[in-house]
């Protein structure tokens, strides 16, 4: 077992293989080669892997095992043993890169701890593809994965991102897209620029661009397919509303007989600020002596 920089390495190799996100033609020659030569291929969905191999005309000669969210922890230990025995193990997900909102992180971590060589076959990624076609700033960005499913948790997560200056990329299920966009419009403001990227690289690819409020209204009619959402970052000092004036406007509406909750909601929506932020500010102003 040779050493490199003081770390023990073994003959086994873990290969993280990027899978096409829509078009089989996006597969690299190296992926074809490694699928044919690997000792073990760990696939998120073995049926999809077999279909891909058929489309590519590739014969997988190694052992094929399932490797998905529900069995990841147990299977990772089994695959580590194969790696320690000197075998080449390929991890491939349904689409995109392993470990990016897909299985792969646990096994990679274990392999690193065991001194096993880890490498990757770069491939298509919905994250960078959506970022590239969104038309939004791409010099600095962050990937936020799937927003929490529960409305309260989602609201808190998005509120914490309200002043994030980098472009943000999210994944979302189609049946939750409208509610997530509405929550983003509330947290970031309805005019915050965004792009909804649907079925990237596939036959019915669609990129819808606009403000979050506008996109939420569009999505309310129902959207299908694989979804990636790109949201522009917060621009500090650009057109910032005067919070004191917003509080004063809430007070004026309340004095005119409008319920405080409704007044806050209407003023926040009109100014493109977080309703929660304005509520907290109004509450502090009315309770502070």
Strands 167-172 and 141-145: parallel
Q: Are 82 and 51 in contact (CB under 8 A)?
A: no
pTM (predicted TM-score): 0.77
Residues 6+ apart with CB under 8 A from 121: 15, 16, 17, 18, 28, 30, 31, 34
Tokens of 220: 């309310």
pLDDT value, residue 129: 96
With beta carbons less than 8 A apart as the criterion, state whether 35 and 60 touch: yes
Q: What is the pLDDT of residue 8?
A: 43
Distance CA 76, CA 195 (A): 36
Sign, CA torsion 75/111/59/25: positive
- Beta-strand relationship, 88-92 and 40-43: parallel
Structure tokens at 260: 């405080």
Tens-digit pLDDT string for the chain (289 aa):
444 444 444 579 999 999 999 998 899 899 999 999 999 999 999 999 999 999 999 999 999 999 998 998 889 999 999 999 999 999 999 999 998 888 899 999 999 999 999 999 988 899 999 999 999 999 999 999 999 999 999 999 999 999 899 999 999 999 999 999 999 999 999 999 999 999 999 999 999 999 999 999 999 999 999 999 999 999 876 555 677 888 888 888 888 888 888 888 888 877 767 788 888 888 777 665 5
What's the rounded Cα separation, in Å, for the pair 188 and 192?
A: 6
Give the separation between CA 280 and CA 253, rounded to whole angstroms. 17
Q: From residue 289, give the alpha-carbon distance in Å to each of 14, 165, 227.
A: 63, 35, 48
Predicted pLDDT of residue 9: 45
């Amino acid at each position: 077992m040779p050493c490199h920089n003081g770390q023990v390495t073994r003959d086994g190799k873990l290969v993280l293989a990027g899978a096409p996100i829509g078009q089989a033609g996006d597969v690299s020659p190296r992926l074809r080669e490694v699928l044919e030569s690997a000792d073990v291929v760990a696939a998120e969905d073995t049926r999809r892997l077999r279909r891909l191999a058929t489309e590519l005309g590739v014969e997988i000669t190694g052992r094929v095992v399932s490797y998905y969210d529900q069995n990841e922890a147990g299977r990772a230990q089994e695959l580590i043993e194969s790696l320690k025995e000197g075998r080449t193990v390929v991890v491939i997900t349904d689409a995109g890169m392993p470990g990016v909102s897909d299985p792969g992180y646990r096994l990679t971590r274990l392999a690193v701890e065991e001194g096993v060589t880890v490498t990757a076959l770069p491939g298509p990624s919905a994250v960078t593809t959506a970022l590239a076609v969104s038309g939004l700033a791409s010099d600095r960005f962050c990937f936020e994965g799937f927003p929490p499913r529960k409305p309260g948790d989602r609201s808190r997560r998005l509120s914490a991102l309200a002043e994030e200056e980098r472009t943000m990329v999210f994944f979302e299920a189609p049946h939750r897209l409208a509610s997530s966009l509405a929550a983003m419009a509330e947290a970031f403001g309805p005019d915050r620029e965004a792009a909804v990227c649907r079925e990237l690289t596939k036959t019915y690819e669609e990129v819808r661009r606009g403000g979050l409020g506008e996109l939420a209204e569009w999505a309310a009619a129902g959207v299908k397919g694989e979804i990636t959402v790109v949201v522009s970052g917060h621009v500090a000092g650009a057109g910032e509303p005067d919070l004191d004036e917003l509080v004063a406007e809430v007070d004026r509406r309340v004095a005119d007989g409008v319920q405080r909750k409704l007044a806050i909601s209407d003023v926040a929506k009109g100014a493109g600020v977080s309703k929660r932020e304005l509520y907290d500010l109004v509450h502090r102003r009315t309770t502070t002596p």
